[in-house]
Amino acid sequence: MMDATIHPVPGVRLGVAAAGIRYQGRDDLVLMTLPADATVGAVFTRNAFCAAPVTVAREHLAQAAPRGLLINAGNANAGTGAPGRQAADRCCELAAAACGCEQEQILPFSTGVIGEDLPTAPFAAAMPALVADLAEDNWPRAARAIMTTDTVAKLASRRLDIDGVAVIVTGMSKGSGMIHPDMATMLAFVATDVAISADLLQSCLQAAVADSFNAITVDGDTSTNDACVLMASGASGVTIESADSTAGQALFAAVADVCAELARAIVDDGEGATKRVTVAVSGAASATEARQVADTVALSPLVKTALFAADPNWGRILAAVGRAGVEELDVERVRIWLDQVLIVSGGGRDPGYTEAAGQAVMDQHAFSIRIDLGRGEASSRLLTCDLSYDYIKINAEYRS
């Protein structure tokens, strides 16, 4: 039964199947189909060892209007050389034959273990079931099928009114570990039923990703397979011609909202995570400097383990700010808060700070670390989580 809060996107169908690529007894393969006049935007990993499906998807997106997306879990088809490229091409060939379109109109995506050859026989065997299962309301099943170490399916949906017409924006993502900003840091697929040019859709996606998927980190590792795709079916009859129009602003806001919700869900489901923490840096001389400090604090193993222990060890935060590489940092002007509790000022512990006040903040599931550098007007915000015993266990046992 479709979750009432997850709205199907007219014109976008999803088929789900259990192909047995790596996992047994669960769905692991998804086919998404689009109308002939649909438009698509995408962003991909910047990892130099990008997976074969990333290379193929980039090439196909530049060559033709996509009609289908093929997504598998359990095998990343990364670090697989020429055989990996051949496997990705073969999967596109199979999907194109099933969908009645050209091979270049299929975008492939894979997630799972790196460095293992991707078998294509399971794709061929599962293709009839995928096509037979195509339906607009299959988002929840598809979101579960693309999971790897995720513990929950990640879905978000919005219904908005544009010129008296109901417009849908619905998305799903997967990601739990190997998460750090460098494009999209996982797999995410978002769809809407407006009509919009590919260039404008790409702008919408890039704006949404900047403040969502590119503003989260779990462990500092970027994947070989990261991709985020935004699709527009045009089925609503509503046309978006400008980002500055009332309709354009409404769509951009809804897409950004869906991406932000999916990004929060990834951090909440970070491998072994028990805390969700916003690192907010202000008063920086530049946006680059602000992000540099936010990254250093959010990625510090000592800070992240203190978060796990709910230990208000503010010295670790102070030390991370100090080693972030900010030139000529005046430590006397730096202030640091846990939520609204001022912990550092004047180069050291704030005179009004108490351990009890810090502890009350750290005991919460979600809170903020706020840092004012006292140098300018630039700021940055990053969402992160703690580092727990379970993170080590999950990744140590990943291939067993």
Catalytic residues: 185
Do 72 and 190 form a contact (C-beta atoms < 8 A)? Answer: no
Angle at 346 between CA 344 and CA 347, to 5 degrees: 75
- Helical ranges in the chain per DSSP H: 52-63, 81-99, 121-132, 139-145, 198-210, 246-268, 287-299, 301-309, 314-322, 355-362, 389-396
SS3 111: strand
Do 192 and 279 form a contact (C-beta atoms < 8 A)? Answer: no
Do 127 and 98 form a contact (C-beta atoms < 8 A)? Answer: yes
Do 13 and 138 form a contact (C-beta atoms < 8 A)? Answer: yes
- In this structure, the number of other CB atoms found within 10 A of the CB of residue 356 comes to 9
Give the residue among 306, 304, 308 at the shortest CA–CA distance from 274.
308
- In this structure, the number of other CB atoms found within 10 A of the CB of residue 240 comes to 23
Burial of 203 (0-12, 13-18, 19+ CB in 10 A): middle
In the block, residue with structure tokens 């273990």: 113
Cα-Cα-Cα-Cα torsion 92, 177, 28, 103, nearest 10 degrees, comes to -10
The span from the CA of 203 to the CA of 39, in Å, is: 13
Give the residue among 168, 207, 167, 209 at the shortest CA–CA distance from 188.
209
Half-sphere exposure of 256 (CA within 13 A, CB side): 15
Burial of 397 (0-12, 13-18, 19+ CB in 10 A): exposed
The span from the CA of 333 to the CA of 253, in Å, is: 36
